[in-house]
């Protein structure tokens, strides 16, 4: 993770020192399990528990010769012990500590990400509450469509946030599993109870059918959860960027005192946070591709995934955490320019009543095709002339001959369009 976007709480989880510390914790717990089963003398267990240690510099020095980080680590640990070191890594293989350690790192990273995700959700909920009832133009294909409210617009992003929470929970449950099963995963030299003991102590699940490694589709599911969070942030950021465009001007990112928008143009206020979130989302989708590529390993194991994972997981977790904190800032600090919102609704005219009139004609017996053609002709004439569509409809004998004038007046209102706002918001608990 580059320093510009690094968050210490997250980067600390993925340091080499932290990795080796987790390896040691796993190894000691495995000895503890065998001690409790009567397979390790108490004196040896207590010496390991109290004295086992490593020096990162020493591990690195040994790895220069062994070209194997786990063997280098185990050698360093053995140097801190006496003959009791023979119980360390008994019946285990490298992946037992590598994969169980990664589950621990994903668990700890996931806790930070979940906290930030919920803060983002709270910021979105606040944005929905403060924009209730503010009528705005809904747009499809970038063009004016029918009225909606800003609260409904932002509630859609809150609904997506709720799905992200569920996906992250599922991704963490899937990927936070360990294995202490030995070479090719058969428990040939360790009873499965050792694995169960270690993983239970660490708060992890157990890989049901290990092949020496934890299956990589589990990790891909976690990366998908992070990618979906990136997509949610990007969709919200894109909406805010469009609404901030000069010709729309309905919202604005928080612009702090002393902040600068352009090195050349002092008047600029650019949507830099939103643009940054869009860029970060691209990274998260890329990390997911790597995770999917890592799933089809050869036979019981190869290490084609190993180098890629050392890049992908620290960065994916770091990018997600950083992005969520920025997305929460964007949502909580978003400035709504209500006058511009209202002006844009007024500028749109009232052609958005076209569907109301068309469906009224259908209710009163016209075919949909005839109703559409009649209303479209009036709407297009109103657009060309700048006249009111509703007035044109009321004065058109072809329409009033089918639909009573009073009914037309009742249905051609914004209130009629938006009468279900509270009901929709209630579906996501924001009513």
Give CA–CA dist 379/354, Å, rounded.
Answer: 7
Kindly state the average pLDDT of the residues 95-117: 97
Q: In the numeric block, which tokens belong to residue 146?
A: 């029918």
In the predicted model, is pLDDT for residue 140 greater than 90? yes
In the predicted model, is pLDDT for residue 400 greater than 90? yes
- Residue pair 186/129 in contact (Cβ under 8 Å)? The answer is no
Give CA–CA dist 179/183, Å, rounded.
Answer: 11
Give CA–CA dist 24/178, Å, rounded.
Answer: 15
> What long-range pairs does 48-55 form, CB within 8 A, spacing at least 24?
48/81, 48/84, 48/85, 48/87, 48/88, 51/80, 51/81, 52/24, 52/27, 52/28, 52/77, 52/80, 52/81, 52/88, 53/24, 53/77, 53/80, 54/20, 54/24, 54/80
Encode pLDDT of 57-93 as tens digits.
999 999 999 999 999 999 999 999 999 999 999 999 9
How far, in whole angstroms, is CA 206 from its chain's centroid? 25
Residues near 177 by beta carbon (within 8 Å), at least 6 away in sequence: 103, 199, 204, 205, 206, 207, 214, 218
- Residue pair 410/419 in contact (Cβ under 8 Å)? The answer is no
Tell me whether residue 223 is exposed, middle or buried, using C-beta atoms within 10 angstroms of its C-beta: 0 to 12, 13 to 18, 19 or more: buried
Residue 368: the pLDDT is 96
Please give the DSSP secondary-structure letter assigned to residue 13: G
Kindly state the average pLDDT of the residues 351-374: 95
Encode pLDDT of 208-224 as tens digits.
999 989 999 999 999 99
- Residue pair 170/377 in contact (Cβ under 8 Å)? The answer is no
The helix/strand/coil state of 431 is: coil
What is the radius of gyration, based on Cα positions, of the chain? Answer: 30
Give CA–CA dist 278/416, Å, rounded.
Answer: 36
- Residue pair 197/33 in contact (Cβ under 8 Å)? The answer is yes
Residue 129: the pLDDT is 97
More confident residue, 259 or 17: 17
Give CA–CA dist 54/79, Å, rounded.
Answer: 8
In the predicted model, is pLDDT for residue 255 greater than 90? no
Which residue ranges form the domains of the chain, and what is each CATH number? 3-87 (1.10.275.10), 94-344 (1.20.200.10), 351-411 (1.10.40.30)
N-terminal to C-terminal alpha carbon distance within the chain = 40
In the predicted model, is pLDDT for residue 278 greater than 90? yes
Residue 328: the pLDDT is 98
Q: In the numeric block, which tokens belong to residue 81?
A: 């012990």
- Residue pair 106/175 in contact (Cβ under 8 Å)? The answer is yes
Q: In the numeric block, which tokens belong to residue 80?
A: 């801190």
> What long-range pairs does 407-414 form, CB within 8 A, spacing at least 24?
407/360, 408/357, 408/360, 411/353, 411/356, 411/357, 411/360, 412/350, 412/353, 412/356, 412/357, 414/135, 414/147, 414/345
In the predicted model, is pLDDT for residue 20 greater than 90? yes
Phi, psi dihedrals of residue 43, rounded to the nearest 5°: -60, -45
Residue 303: the pLDDT is 87
Q: Write down the pTM of the prediction.
A: 0.94
Positions marked active-site = 141, 262
- Residue pair 81/48 in contact (Cβ under 8 Å)? The answer is yes
Give CA–CA dist 394/398, Å, rounded.
Answer: 10
Express the helix, strand and coil content of the chain in percent, nearest 5 each.
70, 5, 25
Give CA–CA dist 160/165, Å, rounded.
Answer: 9
Continuous segment of H or E residues that includes residue 145: strand 143-149
Q: In the numeric block, which tokens belong to residue 183?
A: 């070479």
In Å, how far are 266, 309, 310 from 293, measured between CA atoms?
47, 11, 14
Residues near 122 by beta carbon (within 8 Å), at least 6 away in sequence: 328
């Amino acid at each position: 993770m580059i320093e510009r976007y690094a968050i210490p709480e997250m980067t600390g989880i993925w340091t080499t020192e932290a990795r080796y510390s987790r390896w040691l914790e796993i190894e000691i717990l495995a000895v503890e399990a065998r001690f409790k089963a009567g397979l390790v003398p108490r004196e040896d267990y207590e010496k390991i528990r109290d004295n086992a240690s490593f020096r990162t510099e020493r591990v690195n020095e040994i790895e220069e010769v062994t070209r194997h980080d786990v063997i280098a680590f185990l050698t360093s640990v053995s140097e801190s012990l006496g003959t009791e070191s023979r119980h360390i890594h008994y019946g285990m293989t490298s992946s037992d500590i590598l994969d169980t350690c990664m589950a621990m790192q994903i668990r700890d990273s996931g806790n930070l990400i979940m906290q930030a995700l919920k803060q983002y959700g709270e910021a979105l909920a606040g944005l929905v509450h403060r924009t209730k009832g503010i009528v705005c133009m809904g747009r499809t294909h970038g063009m004016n469509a029918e009225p909606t409210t800003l609260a409904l617009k932002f509630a859609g992003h809150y609904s997506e946030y709720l799905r992200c929470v569920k996906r992250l929970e599922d991704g963490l449950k899937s990927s936070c599993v360990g294995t202490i099963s030995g070479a090719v995963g058969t428990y040939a030299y360790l009873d499965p109870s050792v694995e169960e003991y270690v993983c239970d102590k660490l708060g992890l699940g157990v890989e049901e059918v290990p092949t020496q490694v934890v299956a990589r589709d589990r990790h891909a599911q976690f990366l998908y959860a992070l990618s979906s969070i990136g997509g949610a942030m990007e969709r919200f950021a894109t909406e805010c960027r469009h609404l901030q465009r000069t010709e729309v001007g309905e919202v604005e990112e928080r612009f702090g005192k002393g902040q600068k928008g352009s090195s050349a143009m002092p008047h600029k206020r650019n949507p830099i946070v939103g643009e940054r979130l869009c860029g970060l989302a691209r990274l998260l989708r890329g990390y997911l591709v790597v995770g999917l590529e890592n799933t089809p390993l050869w036979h019981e194991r190869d290490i084609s995934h190993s180098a890629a994972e050392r890049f992908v997981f620290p960065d994916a977790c770091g990018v997600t955490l950083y992005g969520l904190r920025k997305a929460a800032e964007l949502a909580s600090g978003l400035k709504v320019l209500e006058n511009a919102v209202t002006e844009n609704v007024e500028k749109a005219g009232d052609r958005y009543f076209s569907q109301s009139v068309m469906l009224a004609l259908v209710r009163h017996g016209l075919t949909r095709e005839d109703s559409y053609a009649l209303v479209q002709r009036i709407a297009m004439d109103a657009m060309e002339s700048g006249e009111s569509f509703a007035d044109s409809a009321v004065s058109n004998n072809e329409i009033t001959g089918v639909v009573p004038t009073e009914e037309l007046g009742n249905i051609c209102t914004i209130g009629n369009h938006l009468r279900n706002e509270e009901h929709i918001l209630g579906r996501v608990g924001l009513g």
